[in-house]
Structure 1
Amino acid sequence: MIKVKVSLRPIVSKINLPTVLKTTILPGDSMESLFIATQVGEIFYIRNRGIRTFLDIRPRIIKLGASEPGVSGRGYDERGLLGLAFHPQFYYNGLFYLHYSVAGTQGPGALPKPFKPNPCDPNTLNLKWINRETQYDHIDTIEEWILQANGQPQIRRTLLNLRRPFFNHNGVNSLNFSPETGKLVLTTGDGGAGYDPFNLSQDDMEIFGKIIEIDVAKNTFIYTPPAVTRFNELPAPIQETLTVIAKGVRNIPGISFQRFGNQYIKYMGNVGQDLEEAIFSFVYYKPIPVTQLIQASLMKSKPDQEGFINIGWRGWEGAFPTSIIRGCSANPTLNEKTIAYYNEAVNTSVSRLQPLTSYYHKDQRPGKFGGTALTGVQPYMGNRIPHLTGSVVFTDLARNEEAGPPVRGVLAYTRGRTDCKLNDFSVMETDYNFGSGSAYYVSLGTNLDQTRLYLGVYGSMKVTDFYQGSVLEIVP
């Protein structure tokens, strides 16, 4: 693939970690404004080169950066303000949607210590999440807000309250509207820890590890729904607003849509466990109404899964069966890789969607890189960077090479294919000088017609290190 060189043009700096970057046209305006949501709960917008506050919900956000079981040090966190989406008719109705982790909901977590499956011990392969009302980490909420005529945003209703088992894998850029169905798409991770201890991602009744469409046009008249973990715990009017597009998700930095004739190609990335990061694409799909999933569960039958998307986790990590990595005592430079969930890998081997492209945590090939975590996937339909037109751009948090500090994220791209083969990718070269500090690439965004790309960068892995963020535009 052609080596593409780009520049980065600074837009704003000294902000908190930017989780969502997207544009919309404010009511009464004639041009798009770039909106930036930060993990700690601020939403800014850029207009006439100035930055303004749209909404500040920091008091509503859970206390971030507290120390977690099995997580070294304080400060790293995957909770906070994670999703922002504007209604397709936002210009006229002022409606927008938020996903965030709620203040005051901190729990002890679902397991007392870090989890690792042992293929020789069935007890570790069949764990159940019990006592869910007390053994959980926090509650996430999905809310509908309205921009009032006086310019002040106000909450209208809560769509979902989700009780999560662990602090991580909550998704990010988790709310996006489908241009095909007009519905709000929620991309939610598997609940966290690692290796999906309770196999929530493959269980049709579990909300986590799924891609869900929400029909926001239906009013359920339930304004404070209960905090739940399973679809069958939801009140019936809320069940009727939900369809499930996909399961088998580990953790996901949103879903994006690329117009292709009179259809849309859907792209989503799945963050890996130990070996690889994967990007998936599909055009055709047949979502299953949650009411049908519940009915099938009651009848102890399987719903028709023809056209239903399964990304394969926890049996598959992208193109590989999920593995456990152990050091080799005889030769410390080598690793032994054991298939963690052999039976599950076999069971989902045919039904799962194959990745469009994968990249690896260790890669000796020239022109490639060792990755850490996928943080954004966006189509580019502009022509200012000609070699990128029609391609899919993605970001990785940090190069996983032995070069040492300072840390740098990675920009790369691939192209869609129609023959279902695994595609190659190419690293993009940038000429921007971040100085001696770290530059983690934490988010990727685009404007409404996908002709501009925006990159969110942070100088630390800790959310408690404030105001180390910047947003740049990717330009020729």
Structure 2
Amino acid sequence: MKKVKVSLRPIVGKINLPTVLKTTILPGDSIERLFIATQVGEIFYIGDGVIRTFLDIRPRIIKLGVSSGGYDERGLLGLAFHPEFYDNGLFYLHYSVAGTQGPGALPGAFESFKPNPCDSSTLNLKWINREIQYDHIDAVEEWILPSNGQPQKQRILLNIRRPFINHNGVNSLNFSPETGKLVLTTGDGGSGYDPFNLSQDDMEFAGKIIEIDVVKNTFIDNPPVVTRFNELPASIQETLTVIAKGVRNIPGISFQRFYNQYIKYVGNVGQDLVESIFSFIHYEPIPVTQLVQASVMNSEPGPEGFINFGWRGWEGAFPTSMIRGCSADPALDEKIIAYYKEAVQTSVRRLQPLTSYFHKDPRPDKFGGTALTGVQAYMGNGIPDLMGSVVFTDLARDKGSQPPVKGVLAYTRVQTDCKLNDFSVIETDYNFGSQSAYYVSLGTNLDQTRLYLGVYGSMKVADFNQGTIFEIVP
């Protein structure tokens, strides 16, 4: 693939960890403004070259970084503006709610759980006692910006109990230009290796891509806290459809117009082996009411079924592997299929990725990745070699790289034969000096002609004011 070089132009610096970057036009305004949501609960926008506060919900956010040495994957994770925001002032938030801290579904198992293929008890764990064994509660809310007023909360759409601190999704709310519905992307709930296989269970919120019809009003001000679709009142079930399952963790969804249809791009963050980007056009969203009915009848939910990304049996195009060093030869790794049964069961139904990149890659023109943090379609002609491509970011080059740590920008394209495609690193000219530069978020404007990159100087959300927002320019 063609080598592409870009520049990074700083827009604003010394902010907290940015989770969402997107633009909209404020009511009464005439130009798009860049909005920046931070993990700790602030939402800023850039107006006339000045950073201004749009909303600050820090008191509503769970206390971050306390139990995990400063690292955290909770907080303000999603921000989406209604397609008619200019006229109706509606926008939507997804965040981890203050005061909801629990002990965890497997206390002490944050990121530490590993299945043992020789011990069936580790392969068939169940999430029990959910009302008390959980980590936190996430809320999806509708807010309004009234004319000449301050933003205020209108209603709660969902209250979701989450098992662990990690894998809650990020950039998790986006509106579909096809259906006009709000799309919620959820991770598998966390720890490692999806210990309860929530991502493949049709009843679980975890590990799904879900559409919410925000036009339908359920008239339920404070919905119950749930983990499964069948725990919801019927009026809320009727607002939900499910697009996909088999998600590990996901940095949002991007829609790219292609003639009279849209290509959807999503990234699935990997475990130990590989990061993957998927694309699809046609899909059959299944109403949650139909899923619940199928569950009651113990039958298949529909003839087509979901789009299935394959997790936990598959990491992208590969059976999920456990990797450990070989004592006989430290230069080699032993790779064991973690969930052989799940890999076989989902081998046919799963979607093949558009591209994957490895955590270790010996090829000189590639890179070893850590975690996928952003996927965006680019339709601008400012960077001609990227027009029509899908651009993605990785948090940091693999641990074998020389310090300081630096993230990676890369791109790929949809193949006309729908086969797995290659990818190419995008070279940047910005000098971060001795400062670490984790690439934590990627955003675009309304017509996808501009790209924005969020960079942070630390892996820890509790290390404050180390963020810089760049525009990616020729």
TM-score per shorter chain, which class? over 0.9
CA–CA separation in structure 2 for the residues paired with 1:296 and 1:414:
38
Find the counterpart in structure 2 of residue 151 from structure 1.
149
Find the counterpart in structure 2 of residue 177 from structure 1.
175
Find the counterpart in structure 2 of residue 326 from structure 1.
324
Selected match of 2:233 from 221, 235, 245 = 235
For these two proteins, the number of residue pairs brought into alignment is: 471
Matches within 5 A, 1:55-74: 55-68=55-68, 74=69
Selected match of 1:91 from 86, 107, 116 = 86
CA–CA separation in structure 1 for the residues paired with 2:40 and 2:162:
19
Selected match of 2:140 from 139, 142, 152 = 142
> Which consecutive unaligned segments of at least 5 residues does structure 1 have?
69-73
Per-residue CA deviations over 1:178-212 (Å, capped at 9, x if unaligned) read 00000000000000000000000000001100000
Amino acid of the structure 2 residue aligned with 1:398: A
CA–CA separation in structure 1 for the residues paired with 2:53 and 2:71:
25
Pairing 1:468–2:463 present: no
Find the counterpart in structure 1 of residue 105 from structure 2.
110
State whether residues 354 and 420 of structure 1, in contact with CA within 8 Å, keep that contact through their aligned partners in structure 2: no
CA–CA separation in structure 1 for the residues paired with 2:274 and 2:32:
36
Pairing 1:12–2:12 present: yes
Cα distance change, pair 159–117 in 1 and its aligned pair in 2 (3 A): same
Find the counterpart in structure 2 of residue 71 from structure 1.
none
How big is the shift at 1:121? 0.7
CA–CA separation in structure 2 for the residues paired with 1:158 and 1:207:
16
| 1:201 aligned counterpart, secondary structure | helix
TM-score by length of 1: 0.98
How big is the shift at 1:105? 0.3
| 2:243 aligned counterpart, secondary structure | strand
State whether residues 286 and 305 of structure 2, in contact with CA within 8 Å, keep that contact through their aligned partners in structure 1: no
Amino acid of the structure 2 residue aligned with 1:111: L
CA–CA separation in structure 1 for the residues paired with 2:304 and 2:8:
43
Matches within 5 A, 1:163-242: 163-242=161-240
Amino acid of the structure 1 residue aligned with 2:460: K
State whether residues 369 and 401 of structure 1, in contact with CA within 8 Å, keep that contact through their aligned partners in structure 2: no
State whether residues 199 and 206 of structure 2, in contact with CA within 8 Å, keep that contact through their aligned partners in structure 1: yes
How big is the shift at 1:307? 5.6
Pairing 1:354–2:352 present: yes
User: Percent same amino acid among aligned pairs?
Assistant: 83
Amino acid of the structure 2 residue aligned with 1:97: Y
Matches within 5 A, 1:12-31: 12-31=12-31
Selected match of 2:288 from 287, 290, 295 = 290
State whether residues 285 and 307 of structure 1, in contact with CA within 8 Å, keep that contact through their aligned partners in structure 2: no
> Which consecutive unaligned segments of at least 5 residues does structure 2 have?
none
State whether residues 284 and 307 of structure 1, in contact with CA within 8 Å, keep that contact through their aligned partners in structure 2: no
How big is the shift at 1:66? 1.3
CA–CA separation in structure 2 for the residues paired with 1:144 and 1:395:
29
Selected match of 1:132 from 130, 142, 149 = 130
Amino acid of the structure 2 residue aligned with 1:109: G
State whether residues 193 and 312 of structure 2, in contact with CA within 8 Å, keep that contact through their aligned partners in structure 1: yes
Per-residue CA deviations over 1:297-325 (Å, capped at 9, x if unaligned) read 00011111516200000000011100111
State whether residues 24 and 446 of structure 2, in contact with CA within 8 Å, keep that contact through their aligned partners in structure 1: yes
Moved more, 115-124 or 176-185: 115-124
| 1:303 aligned counterpart, secondary structure | coil
| 1:344 aligned counterpart, secondary structure | helix
| 2:71 aligned counterpart, secondary structure | coil
State whether residues 105 and 139 of structure 1, in contact with CA within 8 Å, keep that contact through their aligned partners in structure 2: yes
How big is the shift at 1:420? 2.3
Find the counterpart in structure 2 of residue 3 from structure 1.
3
Amino acid of the structure 2 residue aligned with 1:448: L
Matches within 5 A, 1:255-270: 255-270=253-268
Per-residue CA deviations over 1:238-286 (Å, capped at 9, x if unaligned) read 0000000000000000000000000000000000000000000000000
Find the counterpart in structure 2 of residue 426 from structure 1.
424
Find the counterpart in structure 2 of residue 396 from structure 1.
394
How big is the shift at 1:18? 0.4
Amino acid of the structure 2 residue aligned with 1:95: L
CA–CA separation in structure 2 for the residues paired with 1:184 and 1:151:
24
How big is the shift at 1:419? 2.0
Amino acid of the structure 1 residue aligned with 2:77: L
RMSD (CA atoms): 0.8
CA–CA separation in structure 2 for the residues paired with 1:328 and 1:2:
37
Moved more, 456-465 or 394-403: 394-403
